[in-house]
Structures are given as structure tokens and as C-alpha cells.
Chains A and B, each alone.
Chain A
Amino acid sequence: MGGYILRRIIATGLTLLGVSLVVFGMVRLIPGTVVEQLLGQAAMTSPEVLASFRQFFGLDRPLSVQYLDWLAGVLRGDFGVSWLSGRPVLGLFLERLPVSAELALLAVGWSLLLGIPLGAAAAVWRGGGRDAAIRVSATLGLSLPAFWQGTVLILLFSVYLGWMPSLQWVPLTRNLGGNLATMALPALTLGTATAAMITRMSRSSMLDVLGREYIRTARAKGLAERRVTFRHGLRNALIPVVTVAGVQLGYIVGGIVVVEDVFTLPGVGRLLLDAIFQRDYPVVQGVILLLGAIFMTLNLAVDLLYAVVDPRLRRG
């Protein structure tokens, strides 16, 4: 078990190194130099100014030196400084993280609460009309573009019905009720595809489990169907579902960029988009790297959790 965990951690570390290389290379791929982007047309008229800025930012050094220098900074928690505000990128990221984390957790939470019972029910009702309705709903849920779903929800609940406040984020620390009211529609939007995925996975996993020998044995022993389904069936069917939920949490990391834009939430997704439009490349670089690292850490945590509950994986 210890060896497996160590191998996975080392593999994740190596991949993270590759990710850092990609993120570093991304900014160097920008047409024109970073300094030209920063200074705009003014720099083109004065090669001296351009050269002094290149020297100031260390861009006159070999790329490998620049990368190692940047990586050493990242390992110390120094992700650079925003060109626009002059503030450290990590500070900006951490400031916005609670909003995004709350959004992601709410989205995964409701998608689990809805997806698992729906999937299990569909498996129990296999082949019937209710099963078909759940399957169609899940496919529809996977097909909804988040930005459009968010738009429709704002239109319906905020503009027409007036039930929900729209585009007015309330901090969690100021007013819990108000915060949850403003987060309800974004979380609903962000979690829809995940709920659909979990419904499909729960149904598939439950069907697999319900066909197993021990379920037949439980029925043969005369146990009540409800007990067989929930006690013996659902509990065992949940293991792969938890894995899917973990992986989906990772994908939600990407989805927050879109949903925060639709609902104008001040999270890390909004920070990234603002930085892109303002060409604040240290922030773009830092946010993508940090979100990638979070995505990988979540995947690693899911792998390790799965190894704990399924010993066959540790031997694989």
C-alpha cells in the first residue's frame, strides 16, 4: 500500500513538472515578446528601452535559466507579480479561491444528492418508463451548455419570477442565507453535467451489482427487497460512483471559469478571464498552473481513496 501511494505521488510530481513546463512555455509562445506586450507600441520605437526592460525581467537570459529560476520561485510560493496591480499572483489567487471552492463543493454536493438516488432508482426500474425518463434526462443534462443553462436560469428565476437575486454576490462571512441564495443558481448550473454523469454511473454500477451472486443469495435467504437493494446493492455500487464524483470535481475546476463569468462571481475563474483580457500574463500563468495542480491533486486523492477501498488496484 505504502509503495503504491509513493509511486502515485512520484508520478503526479513528475507530471506536475511537465505541467509547469507547458505553462512556462505558453507565455513564451505569445506572438512578440512579453516586454512588447507589456509596453505596447511605445517599445517598438525605442530599442534601448526594450533592451533595458528585457534585462529587468531577466528575459535576456537563456530559456532554461529563466525556467529554473521561475520554477524555484514557484516552489517557494512565488508565482510572480501581477503586471496590472503589482500584487503577488498567489495572494490574488488565494483571495478568490474561497468563492470558487464553495461553488465547486455546492455543485458536487447537489449532484451527488440527486445523481445517486436517481441512478439507483433507474437500475431498480430497469427497462420501464421511469428508467427511460431518467436516462433521457441524464443525456439532456450532459448536453446542456453551462453558459446557456445559466442564462436561462437567470432569465427565469431572476428576471421573470424574481425569486433569486441575480448577479449580486454576497460574501459567506457577511450573510449565510444571502450567500447561499446567490450561489444556488451557479451551483445548479455547474453541477448539472456532473449530476447527469453520476446518474449514469450509479445506474450502470447498480445494474452490475444487482446481477452479482451475493445479491441472489441475499434474495434467496428471504431478505426484504428494500434491504437487498439498499443495504447490499447500493452500498457496493457506490465505490465506482465515488471515483466518478472525484474525477468530476476535477472537471468542475474547469467549469467554474464559465459559470463565474455567467453569474459574475468574483472567483478564480473570473480572475483568469480578467487577466487574459488585460494581458496580465503572470496572473494567467499562475492561475492556470494552480488550477492544474488542484485538478491533479484531486485526481491523485481519488486514486488513493480508490486504492484504499479496492485492494486489487494496489496490486495492479
Chain B
Amino acid sequence: MAETGAGRARWRRCRQSPLFLGACAVLAGLVLAGILAGVVSPYSPTGVDALQVFRGPSAHHLFGTDRFGRDVLSRIIYGIRVSLGIAGASILAAVSVGGVLGLLAGLGKGADQLLGRVMDVLFAFPPILLAIGISAVLGAGPGTATVAIAVVYAPFFFRVVRGGVLVESAQVYVEAAEALGSGRGSILVRHVLPNVLSPVIVQIAVCLSYAILIESALSYLGVGVQPPTPSWGTILNEGKEFLALAPWVSLFPGGCIMLTVLAFNIIGDTLRDALDPRTEVA
């Protein structure tokens, strides 16, 4: 796909947006902190200290301690691995499965009809409800949460890729490739796929924000990651019983979730404006 002058200008505007750069910096910082959790965490995330139970934020414990005397900041830093890891893995699976099925749907009417109906059924559930249902059936845990979120969001990528394939298949360059003797599969992969990548990239950013919200909601409700493994939702869940006594246990992980989701939303919006100016949002 040749990048046009207008396209380059949009990318430049995107890179010059302080909000976009700020959001990227926040995410890069979080990912780095997650990778280096063993180095940057002041304490062990599971280290119990009976003498430090429910200590408020201080120089020793910046985000305070929980009911077992565990350092909340350390748990949040290790929680980055779990929360972002599940969100990333689930969206990667959703893009792979939904994208491949979307391409297949573009191959022929029969495949399109069949896959379209299956995706309609998955779309018929509110996302969080479907994720809760899958978690309830498969049992709580990080693997289940990953599968549940992937199943919820695969239809989104299916629709984006399928829609793009249908639009691009009607373009003159596809007819030209067919006239030159290229096979349908080869045209899809070599010519059509690169042209449907832009909306997929935007969708990835948007879905990552939803995936973080759903993962933390599942863990908060007790059907996602289970204690003592620190995920942001689990930490919040553990703090909800002691809200009046130790609000910091709930406030800080929630703030991290909001900051991360906000960063993904800003990146998604900026990319959408840059890659598809027709769909500029508020």
C-alpha cells in the first residue's frame, strides 16, 4: 500500500499530538515497569507482613499496604504483567481468529453466510455477560479470562476484516490482479489484506481498552484471576470489604486501570482520525 501525501500528513499530525505522545509514554512506562517488576518493585507482591497491616500511604509504602501487610504498589506493578498480559494475549487471539475468519468470509458467499451467522450469535450477548458465562463454565483463572475475552472480541475483528475485504474486492486493482491470473487466496493475502489493516489497527487499540476493563471486571467479580495472584481487578476485589478502613487498597489499582484505559482510548481515537478521517469522533 503506497502511503499518500495526505496519509503522511495525518501520521505527522498524529505524532505531533501531545495527548497521543503522552498516552504512548504512559503505556510504554507501564509495559517497562511490568517487564522489570522484579527490579522496580520495592517489595514482594505476595510477601505477608503482620506488622504492616493496613498501613496508609507513606514513604515506606507509597500506595499503602493491604490486610496481609502486602505492599499495594508492588502488587500493582506485578499486576501490570497479569492485566496487560491477559488483555494483550486475548486481543492477539481475537485478531488472529477473527481476522482469518473475516478473510475466509470474503472468499465466498457460502463461507460468508455460515461464519456471519456464527458471529451474529456471539454478537447477540452483551460482551461482559458472555465473558462471565464462559468464565463460569471453564472455571476462574488467567487462561479462562484470556479465552473469554478473545471469544468476545473475535467477532469485532471478523466484521472489520470481512467488511474491508468486501469493499476492497470490488476495487479495480483486484480485477486487474485477477486478469493477470492471480489466485483468489493470493489476491486476498497480497493485495486486499494490506488495505484492510488500518481499521484493524484502530480496532486493536479500542479493543485493548475494553479487554482491560473486562479482565479487571471479571477478577473484581471473582470469576477471573484468583488471589493471591495480583491483577488490578483482584487487588480491587480484595480491598472492597475494607473500603472505609483502607480506601487506598481500592483507589490506587482502580486509578491504574482508568489511566491505562484512557491511554488506549486516546491512542485509538488519534489513530482513527489519522487512518480514517471520515470517522472523526468527538
Binding site for B on A (CB under 8 A): 11, 14-16, 18-19, 21-23, 26-27, 29-31, 119, 122, 134-135, 138-140, 142-148, 151-152, 154-155, 159, 199-201, 203-204, 250-251, 253-255, 257-258, 261-262, 272-273, 276-277, 284, 288, 291-292, 295-296
- Cβ-closest chain B residue relative to A199: B282
Instruction: List 30 contacting pairs A-B, 8 Å CB cutoff, sorted by A.
Output: A15-B117, A22-B125, A26-B137, A30-B137, A31-B139, A139-B269, A140-B258, A143-B262, A145-B213, A147-B217, A147-B221, A148-B255, A151-B243, A151-B254, A152-B251, A155-B244, A155-B251, A204-B280, A204-B281, A204-B282, A251-B126, A254-B128, A258-B220, A262-B240, A272-B132, A276-B136, A277-B222, A284-B133, A291-B129, A296-B124
Q: Write the nearest CB–CB distance from A6 to chain B, whole angstroms.
A: 18
Which residues of B are interface residues toward A (Cβ below 8 A)? 117-118, 120-122, 124-129, 132-134, 136-139, 209, 213, 216-217, 220-223, 233, 236, 240, 243-244, 247, 250-251, 254-255, 257-258, 261-262, 265-266, 269, 280-282
Contact residue among B221, B243, B281 (Cβ-Cβ distance under 8 Å from A200):
B281
Question: Knowing that A18-B118, A257-B129 are A-B contacts, what are 8 other residue pairs whose CB atoms are under 8 Å apart, sorted by A's residue number?
Answer: A138-B282, A139-B265, A143-B262, A147-B233, A148-B255, A151-B240, A276-B223, A292-B129
Q: Do residues B117 and A14 form an inter-chain contact, with CB atoms below 8 A?
A: yes
* A residues less than 8 Å from B134 (CB atoms): 26
**In the complex, residue of chain A having the shortest beta-carbon distance to the beta carbon of B257:** A145
Q: Are A203 and B126 in contact (CB under 8 A)?
A: no
Provided the pairs A143-B262, A148-B254, A288-B133 are in contact, do residues A257 and B221 lie with their beta carbons within 8 angstroms? yes
Inter-subunit contact B282/A253 (CB<8 Å): no
Pair A258/B240 contact, Cβ less than 8 Å: no
In Å, the complex CA distance between A119 and B139 comes to: 42
Nearest Cβ on chain B to A152's Cβ, whole angstroms: 7
User: A144 to B254, alpha carbons, bound, how many Å?
Assistant: 9
Q: Ordered nearest first, which 8 A-B pairs have the shortest CB separation?
A: A254-B126, A148-B254, A18-B121, A200-B282, A143-B262, A203-B282, A254-B128, A143-B261
